């Protein structure tokens, strides 16, 4: 286990909305597992807890110092700290970047907040219950019964890992921190819309406590200085709105080759033009558009050579052990020839997206929707008589709770401003076996799609990746095809030229017909190869395991070539970046060590794709 710094994960957790003053609460906390979920009755709000944990790592992880991978139905945290005396007179906000799943927060004995969802941030206002300069006691309860229906992504609902379901995450798994904001009014996260055609950024700025007399000011900068500045009054509309033009020789588009980021300074001024709140941000000027079968970046077709990234780590599970680990995953992907990723069944840390922004790495945002079957989960994976893993049952059944739409909207609000995000996909491999009627499954699928389109009109939205397409307005269509023979793979996808795209079993999944949208194979490959694996190890991948490394290369090169050379294919997503526990089909081992000749893996993807020749 790597040695952790005194304050683990000490970097600022919200890099696209930065204030100068903040206090990181990561480190050693009191901790107690509440297996029977009776801690509230037993007075855990008011007494010391039995054990300790290293926050922000979940108790299932090695880095937490706990390493308990059993079902943890509820866990408790306790931490004492002192709010800086210099923050007196300001409003004090407590932020949780992510805590799984139902979170309750008490400060100095008073309940200050609740949040449902394991992937998105939330905040609590402590102003009325704390005194800067004096000791503060924070208590957190996280309830997370993995056997209940909830959006858990790839977290296992059986005791052991199985198939593509992995070690669970309970409780706090991202940074906990404090910041002071002005008591009268303060800025909230803006919505920054790049407008390449008109060479400007449009800003929509929520203000907490907005009132007449206040002024909002924004400045756009690059390395040479201020490019443009604009102001507007608060109180003339619900949100202040303004435009920042990018003029003359200052126009520099964000792209894979040149991921240029403009700096933004956002200010709130009072009646005397005194600055009362200041936030630093950034933005990339780029466009994403659809032209026939192509998806264009800044008006140019770019074939999306994506890799499936599940964001798991051997020692931190869902939490990267360090910021360097986040950067390394992007660099490893790019070294293998990929230009982006599907961020799969997880809302990734904001720091990951920041590095994708600055490195020119394309990503599709996705939600952790698996687990919403509305009934007690069943074991959906088993080993057959030959030792192969087989799927049994469905991921998301015909009736599942609609409340997770809220959590998806929270993810959209958090991540909208990142130029690296080129598409959204709220659901993955959703199934609906009830074809003769409209079900809650259809309602939720449509709600997720409409919520995404209402919040973001600047990016394509895929209703669901693979399986059950039920939203006719979906901007994109796709399929998951794990055929391992390149010749059969080519024959299947040649039908797209005749208007017959590959669709996962329509009898089983009930997809609506394709209507000519851009198409890509959003999961393929998954070639099973791990020379480290012992015969007794749990290990699997898709199809038959190659007998030799040479056979792997032939298969990988052949499958990629089929899609790169297809005139109607806008991209692909290869499964996957790294091995993840027993699923051993990654380009790299789970510990991120090299598995293949990267020059050969990269060369297989570097040919100019057919759709890029337009």
Give the pLDDT confidence score for residue 445 in this predicted structure.
87
Higher confidence at residue 509 or residue 398? 509
From the list 277, 66, 251, the residue with the least C-alpha distance to 186 is 277
More confident residue, 580 or 392: 580
State the DSSP H helix or E strand holding residue 93, giving kind and residue range, or none if neither: strand 91-96
Alpha-carbon span 193 to 95, nearest angstrom? 25
What own/partner pairs with CB < 8 Å and gap ≥ 24 does 385-389 have? 388/540, 389/162, 389/163, 389/540
CA angle 327, 563, 392 (to 5 degrees): 80
pLDDT higher than 90, residue 388? no
With tokens 């780029």, the residue in question is 286
pLDDT for residue 377: 37
pLDDT of residue 436: 66
- Least confident interval from 5-9, 107-111, 225-229, 283-287: 5-9
304-613 has the same fold as 23-181: no
Of 90-104, 150-164, 174-188, 280-294, the poorest mean pLDDT is in 150-164
Nearest to 103 by CA among 138, 149, 154, 68: 138
User: Which architecture, in CATH terms, is 304-613?
Assistant: Alpha-Beta Barrel (3.20)
Which H or E run contains 342?
A: strand 340-343
Tens of pLDDT along 31-89? 999 999 999 999 999 999 999 999 999 999 999 999 999 999 999 999 999 999 999 99
Note the pLDDT of residue 504: 86
- DSSP E strand boundaries for 454-500: 477-481
Q: Which CATH number fits domain 23-181: 2.60.120.260, 3.30.390.10, 3.40.50.2020, 3.20.20.60?
A: 2.60.120.260
Give me the residue label for tokens 């979940």: 58
Contact 72, 170 (CB under 8 A): yes
Mean pLDDT of 283-300: 98
Domain locations along the chain = 23-181, 197-283, 304-613
DSSP class of 35: T
* pLDDT score, position 110: 97
pLDDT of amino acid 438? 75
**How far is residue 252's CA from residue 419's CA, in Å, rounded to a whole number?**
13
pLDDT tens digits, one per residue of 524-572: 999 999 988 887 788 999 998 999 999 999 999 999 999 999 999 999 9
Tell me what pLDDT residue 594 has.
Answer: 96
Q: pLDDT value at position 151?
A: 87
Per the prediction, the chain carries an average pLDDT of: 92
Q: What is the pLDDT of residue 232?
A: 94
Return the CATH fold of 197-283. Answer: Immunoglobulin-like (2.60.40)
Record the tokens describing residue 95, joined without a space: 């932020």
Q: How big is the CA angle at 424 (ends 420 and 426), to the nearest 5 degrees? A: 140
The CA distance from 35 to 42, in Å, is 12
Q: Strand locations in 430-476, DSSP E? A: none
């Amino acid at each position: 286990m790597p040695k952790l710094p005194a304050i683990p994960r000490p970097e600022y957790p919200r890099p696209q909305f930065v204030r100068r003053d903040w206090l990181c609460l990561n480190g050693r906390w009191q901790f107690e597992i509440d297996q029977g979920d009776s801690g509230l009755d037993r007075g855990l709000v008011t007494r010391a807890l039995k054990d300790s944990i290293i926050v922000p790592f979940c108790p299932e992880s090695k880095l937490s110092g706990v390493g308990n991978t059993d079902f943890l139905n509820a866990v408790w945290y306790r931490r004492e700290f002192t709010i800086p005396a210099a923050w007196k007179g300001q409003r004090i906000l407590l932020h949780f970047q992510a805590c799984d799943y139902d979170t309750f927060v008490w400060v100095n004995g008073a309940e200050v907040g609740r949040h449902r969802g394991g992937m998105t941030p939330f905040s609590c206002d402590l102003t009325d219950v704390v005194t800067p300069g004096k000791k503060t006691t924070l208590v957190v309860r996280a309830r997370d019964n993995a056997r209940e229906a909830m959006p858990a992504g790839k977290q296992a609902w059986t005791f052991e890992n199985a198939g593509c379901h992995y070690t669970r995450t309970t409780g706090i798994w991202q940074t906990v921190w404090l910041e002071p904001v002005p008591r009268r009014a303060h800025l909230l996260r803006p919505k920054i819309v790049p407008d390449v055609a008109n060479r400007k950024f449009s800003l929509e700025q929520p203000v907490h406590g907005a009132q007449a007399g206040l002024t909002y000011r924004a400045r756009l900068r690059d390395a040479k200085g201020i490019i443009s500045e604009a102001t507007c009054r608060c109180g003339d509309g619900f949100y202040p709105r303004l435009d920042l033009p990018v003029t003359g020789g200052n126009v520099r588009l964000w792209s894979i080759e040149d991921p240029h980021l403009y700096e933004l300074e956002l200010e709130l001024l009072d009646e005397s033009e005194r600055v009362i709140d200041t936030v630093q941000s950034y933005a990339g000027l780029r466009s994403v558009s659809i032209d026939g079968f192509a998806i264009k970046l800044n008006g140019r077709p770019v074939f999306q050579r994506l890799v499936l990234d599940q964001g798991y780590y051997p020692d931190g599970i869902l939490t990267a052990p360090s910021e360097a680990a986040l950067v390394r995953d992007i660099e490893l992907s790019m070294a293998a020839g990929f230009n982006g990723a599907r961020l799969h069944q997880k809302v990734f840390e904001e720091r990951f997206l920041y590095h994708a922004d600055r490195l020119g790495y394309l990503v599709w945002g996705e939600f952790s929707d698996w687990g919403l079957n509305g009934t007690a989960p069943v074991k959906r994976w088993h080993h057959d008589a030959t030792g192969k893993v087989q799927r049994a049952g469905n991921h998301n059944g015909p009736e599942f709770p609609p409340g997770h739409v809220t959590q998806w909207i929270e993810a959209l609000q958090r991540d909208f401003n990142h130029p690296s995000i080129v598409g959204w996909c709220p659901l993955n491999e959703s199934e609906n076996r009830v074809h003769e009627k409209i079900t809650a499954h259809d309602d939720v699928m449509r709600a997720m799609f409409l919520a995404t389109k209402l919040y973001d009109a600047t990016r394509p939205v895929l209703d669901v990746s693979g399986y059950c397409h039920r939203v006719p307005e979906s901007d994109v269509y796709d399929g998951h095809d794990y055929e391992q023979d390149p010749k059969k793979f080519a024959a299947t996808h040649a039908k797209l030229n005749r208007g017959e795209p590959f669709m996962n079993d329509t009898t089983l999944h009930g997809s609506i017909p394709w209507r000519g949208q851009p198409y890509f194979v959003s999961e393929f490959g998954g070639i099973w190869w791990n020379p480290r694996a012992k015969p007794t190890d749990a290990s699997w991948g898709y199809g038959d395991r190659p007998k030799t490394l040479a056979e792997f290369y032939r298969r990988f090169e052949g499958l990629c070539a089929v899609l790169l050379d297809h005139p109607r294919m806008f991209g692909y997503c290869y499964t996957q970046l790294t091995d993840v526990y027993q699923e051993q089909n990654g380009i790299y081992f789970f510990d991120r060590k090299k598995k293949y000749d990267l020059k050969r893996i990269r060369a297989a993807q570097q040919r100019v794709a057919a759709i890029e020749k337009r």
